[in-house]
Amino acid sequence: MTDRPAHHGPDGKFRIPWPLEVPDQRAGGGVLRWQMERMRTRLPPNPDPSALPLVSSNVARPRAAAGEMRITWIGHASFLLQMGGRNVLLDPHFGPRASPFRFMGPKRFVPPGVALKDLPPIDAVLLSHDHYDHLDEGSVRDLHRAFGDGIRWIAPLGHAAWLRARGITNVADVDWWDTIELPGNGGPLTVTCAPAQHWTRRTLREYNDRLWGSFALRTADGRRVYFGGDSGYFRGYEEIRRRLGPFDAVLMPIGAYDPRWFMAPAHMNPEEAVRAYVEMGGRGAFIPMHWGTFRLTDEDPLEPPVRLRAAWESADLPDADLHVLKHGETLVL
Ligand code: ZN
Ligand code: ZN
């Protein structure tokens, strides 16, 4: 017997520790099959820019008052979270593409909701995992240049070495259920890494060398936010509620789901995001993300919020709790 947690593989790599509901097709030619299918079918067109407006944000400067919470959607999985008198960035991506290359790969439909140069002072950055639509090297370098060691970088196991190689030392590598406290005037802001169903890779020779995760944040006065990171639907949301909830706001991915036979293990669809929210208690603001900024998969880029609203209605959830933010929009709670 060993004390190794189930998501730590014996080979030193990480793995999904529960059975998948839709089998993983990435091994055995799945990527090729997807690309071949894509060539044969006509994909829905990219959206007209007017369908994805950029609105001006309502960021508190330099920070929100201790009892106030402001959530600004920068785009894709990037948010500025102002809570507990702290400024926290989630999966900051300000670059033109979600790609290892400057000249190719998914291009941004909408400029960042807040430009990097217009950010208030940043106290912490949470990174959910290493994929190019979440971990953008240019943004990491620019943030480090702008705020230096004032930023505490928090990411699942394995990311610290990547950050240190870029001269960033104020780093915490966390496993699922590990907690970090960010000290501050009004008491600590508590950040806990939680499970997600996903995978990692930045270069071809890597695969699951770094862990992926979601995060729960709690202020000293008990306000709680959940950031789902990148995840397929899995049966862990009740446990997340039990251990870390209930939440005042839930930030969930709703895009990059088609084709289902290939994407389901790694990306939930809007119906599954609503199911996860219900399993997390079905209360608090629901804020969708991971749609409308980069085109990663085959669905119509404007479809996720339409399906989200329909799923929300069939689940009989209150309209007042659904907040489909525009790029740059700030929700004040
Ligand atoms: Zn990912
Ligand atoms: Zn992603």
pLDDT of residue 42: 84
For residue 198, the CA-to-ligand 1 centroid distance in Å is 7
Q: Which ligand is nearest to the CA of 133?
A: 2
Q: Which ligand is nearest to the CA of 295?
A: 2
Buried b (16+ CB within 10 A) or exposed e, 261-284: ebbbbbbbbbbbbbbbbbbbbbbb
Mean pLDDT of all residues in 202-229: 97
Mean pLDDT of all residues in 42-56: 93
CA distance 291 to 121: 27
Give tens-digit pLDDT for 300-318: 999 999 999 999 999 999 9
For residue 197, the CA-to-ligand 1 centroid distance in Å is 10
pLDDT grade, residue 1 (50/70/90)? low
pLDDT of residue 225: 98
For residue 231, the CA-to-ligand 1 centroid distance in Å is 7
pLDDT of residue 24: 84
Report the chain's mean pLDDT, rounded to a whole number: 96
Mean pLDDT of all residues in 53-59: 98
For residue 294, the CA-to-ligand 2 centroid distance in Å is 9
Give tens-digit pLDDT for 163-211: 999 999 999 999 999 999 999 888 999 999 999 999 999 999 999 999 9
For residue 317, the CA-to-ligand 1 centroid distance in Å is 28
Q: Would the pLDDT of 88 be above 60?
A: yes
Nearest of 158, 256, 141, 172 to residue 202 by alpha carbon: 158
For residue 127, the CA-to-ligand 1 centroid distance in Å is 11
For residue 221, the CA-to-ligand 1 centroid distance in Å is 32
- All structural domains of the chain, each given as residue ranges with its CATH number in brackets, are 60-332 (3.60.15.10)
